[in-house]
Structure formats: structure tokens, C-alpha cells
Amino acid sequence: MKAPSPPCADPANKKLLATLQGKAHWPPPLWLMRQAGRYLPEFKAIRAKADFMTRCLTPDMAVELTLQPIKRYGMDGAILFSDILILPWALGQDLHFEEGRGPVLPPLRHEEDFRALDPARVAERTAPVREAITRLARELATTTTTLLGFAGAPFTVSCYMIEGGGSRDFAAVRRMMIKRPDLYAQLIEMLINATADMLSEQINAGAQAVMLFDSWAGILPPNDFRRWVIEPTRRIRALLKQRHPTVPVIGFPRLGGVMTGEYAQNTGVDTVSLDTSTDPLKILPLLSPHQGVQGNLDPQLLLNGGAPMVKAAQALAETLRGRSHVFNLGHGVSQFTPVEHVAELVEAVRSLSA
């Protein structure tokens, strides 16, 4: 299928930004988590030239990778090509990525490990990220595409920092919460302030909205969810609103389940992004009138494409019609997704009838 043409360039009509600010549009604007990724042949070509950290920290590469899905599909949102673990690296924790394993960090287990972290380093070490955003903002200024910055939320970032990488249950993190709550609280406090500062700098560089990814929020029981997911996000959002009152904040409490409504109510995020397992109709009554919803098509439907995907996309959009809704997935695009399926999805959403 031929990729749809980008919408007509009109800098006064960034539909995604207006939706994140509380307006309803039909058809809804769309972008996809991991829309710049290994399913794209042009992405693979750059991936063959440089490792992951080099791609994140080389502005030329980060800009090109961010724009690839915009050039191909005309997405309404361009999310910075980077990673949530750039912050721990900027704080001073070593980081590299291994094929088949993912991120690898020296685990934080003792007080001296935490004392080695230095928030004063972050601004200097993330300068290439800000340069990429500045270039992207200039590139997208006369288009209808909204530029999105992002960061990992403190709980999820702490999981990788303490565990030393990915995990099924992040047992070391839970153990620290129980046995050294003082030490864990210090880390979260550091991450709250460093994350707010980093996102604020992304906004200063040109990001028009920002997103907080709390990918592992769903592993926590309710009281811990309130303390380590909701409260840090509430504080980051409050700090950002003090500095940038009109810039929308998207929150993604992945696998939050029944806690997602409480998250939306108590964090105050402008838009709550829903994972695949969440029924939007259960969440809508729990939102304020001006809070938006992002999501949440199953990435497996996109992977397989065809009539089932189109039917599900149409049904999801109709379910949220009249609400500020950003069409997206409930998680990221699979690396095995055919590019034609993404084009088919974009066309299906864009061609929804009035």
C-alpha cells in the first residue's frame, strides 16, 4: 500500500498539540510509540553504522531517525529518538546495550554507589540531546507535526539503575524499598528533580509536549504505586507547569490496571496514555473533562495488519470520539511489523468518515 501523504503544512494547525491541550479533533491525530525503529529499512541502514548510544548522542543521527517516520507516513507527532536510560548515564552510571540482552548498567546496591551519582553532570552530558531537539524544532516549525520530548518516570528508571538492566520482577528494587526505604527514597528524590530539569531543558530547546514513560508501574501493589509512581509523576508535572504552564504532559503508567484512573486523577497529567490491556470506557469516567486519552491499539493487530486491524482502529476511534484523543498503540511498534501495515493504519485513521 502506498504511504499516505503528510497533511498540508500549516504551522497554525498542529492538531496533535491542540489535542494534548484538551481539544477534540476528528479524525484524531496519531503517532506511534517506537515509530522510529527496527521495522523501518532506513532505520536499519543507520543502525548498521553505529551503536545505540552513538545514535542517541549524535545529533545528526538522532534528528534523521526521529524524522524517518514523519517523512514516510506524515505522523502528527515526532518523538525524539533517545532512551529513558540517558538520564542515569548522564548522572554518572555506566551504560551500554548488548544485542539480545538490552541495557546493561552496574547495579546500584550500596550507599557509595548512590553517592557517585551527580545531578550537576546532567546538563552538560545531555547537550547533544538538546541540540537534536533544537534542530528538529527548526525542521518541523513550518509543518503540522508536533515535536515531543520524553523521559522515563522515576520508578521505572530506578528499576534499571538498581537491577542493572531488565528483569521479570525487579526483585532487587522491591527488596531495597523494603529494607532500605531511606536509600530508595533518596534515589527517587534525585530522579524527580533531575527528570523535571531534563524535561524542562527539552522544552527550552523546542519540545512542544513531553511524555513520561513508567513502563514497569504495573508491578507494584496499590500503596507502593501511589508512593513511587503517582507521587513522583505529580511532582514532576507540578515542577514543569511552574516553568512551562502551557506545555502538555503525557503520562504512561503501563500495566497500571485499576490504578490508572487514580493515576490520572492525582498526577494531573494533561493526557493519560493507556496500555493495550486497559479499557478506555472504564477510564473515561475517572478523568477530568479536559484530560485527554492516548492509545491504545494492540501492537499485535498492527503486526498482522488487514481487516481486523482496520476494524479495531475504527472502533477505538469511535469509542473516544468527542474526547481529546491521540490515536496510538498500547505499547511500541514491533520490530517485525511490515511497513505496509503502518501505512494501512495511518490511512485507516486519516480516512475516518465525518
- Binding residues, as ranges, are 34-38, 83, 160, 215, 331
Report helix, strand or coil for 319.
helix
Report helix, strand or coil for 106.
coil
Residue 292, exposed/middle/buried by CB under 10 A (0-12, 13-18, 19+)?
buried
Q: Which amino acid is at 104?
A: V
Is 83 designated active site?
yes
Residue 294: left if φ>0, alpha if ψ -120 to 50, beta else—which one?
beta
* Helix, strand, coil % in the chain, rounded to nearest 5: 50, 10, 35
- Annotated binding-site residues for substrate read 34-38, 83, 160, 215, 331
Q: Which of 76, 83, 214, 270 is catalytic?
A: 83
CA–CA separation, 288 and 291 (whole Å): 5
C-alpha of 126 from chain center: 18
Q: Are 339 and 4 in contact (CB under 8 A)?
A: no
Q: Are 29 and 76 in contact (CB under 8 A)?
A: yes
Is 47 designated active site?
yes
Q: Which of 39, 72, 130, 160 is catalytic?
A: 160
Q: Are 151 and 82 in contact (CB under 8 A)?
A: no
Q: How far is CA 9 from CA 5, 6, 67, 74, 148, in A?
A: 11, 8, 15, 10, 18
DSSP 47-79: HTTS-HHHHHH-HHHHHHHHHHHHHHH--SEEE
Is 226 designated active site?
no
Q: Which residues are catalytically annotated?
A: 34, 38, 47, 83, 160
